[in-house]
């Protein structure tokens, strides 16, 4: 097996290990998948963002980020605040029967640009995104020397596979969420996770 193929497989496995961890981005993709609202565009935003960040880390951006810890602290504070806002919105949906996508006909409670904007914010305002993709994957990629871009391709492929599975798999659960009660349970869980992640980010800033 060639060095480049081994590096690509290492990137696939390592990327999957970091990307699959439950976070606000994954939760949002699940919710969009269940509601059937702009699933593929949201998946595209997540995957393209990962490709840009992972490639930037391989190209050397990780060293620049690690040299400015104050910027990471600011990102943690801003990102934590944003997650708390999303937690509050999810809690509001859970407390208001009939406000979920199950009662809106098409399930599209927001416009396309609002959905994409939320996906972008959850990706680019989350400091853990930079730690996982830019710093961690970038550093590991560069340890593979001349095969670093093969590793990068493998990691980017992991992102593509994961988000397609997550979004399209969640879509199959749509019949389960035909009732307002099911949406309230989901939004309650989302609010709890978002709030916990937000508090953790602000506390660590």
- Rounded to two decimals, the pTM is 0.76
The pLDDT of residue 160: 95
Tell me which residues of the chain have a pLDDT lower than 50: 99-107
Alpha carbon 4 to chain centroid, angstroms: 28
The pLDDT of residue 156: 95
**Residue 83 token pair:** 């997650």
Q: How many residues does the chain have?
A: 205
User: For the segment 74-133, what is each residue's pLDDT rounded down to a tens digit?
Assistant: 767 877 787 788 889 888 888 875 544 444 444 455 688 989 998 998 888 887 788 778
The pLDDT of residue 44: 96
The pLDDT of residue 165: 93
The pLDDT of residue 103: 41
Give backbone dihedrals phi and psi of 104, rounded to 5 degrees, phi first.
-110, 10
Question: For tokens 């969640």, what's the residue?
Answer: 170
- The per-residue b/e assignment along 45-79, b for 16 or more CB within 10 angstroms, e otherwise, is bbbebbbbbbbbbbeebbeebeeeeeebeebbbbb
The pLDDT of residue 179: 75
**Residue 32 token pair:** 């969009």
> How far apart are alpha carbons 179 and 196 in whole angstroms?
27
| DSSP code, position 108 | -
Largest CA distance in the chain: 57
């Amino acid at each position: 097996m060639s060095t480049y193929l081994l590096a690509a497989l290492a990137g696939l496995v390592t990327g999957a290990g970091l990307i699959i961890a439950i976070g606000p981005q994954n939760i949002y993709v699940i919710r969009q998948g269940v509601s059937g609202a702009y699933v593929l565009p949201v998946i595209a935003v997540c995957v393209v963002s990962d490709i840009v960040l992972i490639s930037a880390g391989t190209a050397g951006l990780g060293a620049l980020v690690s040299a400015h810890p104050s910027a990471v602290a600011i990102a943690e504070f801003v990102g934590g605040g944003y997650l708390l806002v999303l937690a509050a919105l999810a809690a509001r949906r859970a407390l208001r029967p009939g406000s979920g996508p199950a009662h809106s006909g098409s399930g599209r409670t927001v416009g396309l640009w609002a959905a994409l904007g939320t996906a972008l914010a959850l990706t680019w305002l989350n400091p853990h995104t930079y730690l996982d993709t830019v710093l961690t994957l970038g550093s590991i990629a560069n340890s593979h020397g001349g095969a670093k871009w093969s590793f990068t391709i493998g990691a980017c492929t992991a992102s593509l596979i994961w988000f397609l599975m997550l979004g399209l798999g969640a879509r199959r659960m749509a019949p389960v969420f035909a009732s307002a009660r099911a949406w309230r349970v989901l939004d309650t869980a989302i609010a709890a996770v978002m709030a916990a992640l937000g508090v953790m980010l602000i506390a660590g800033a």
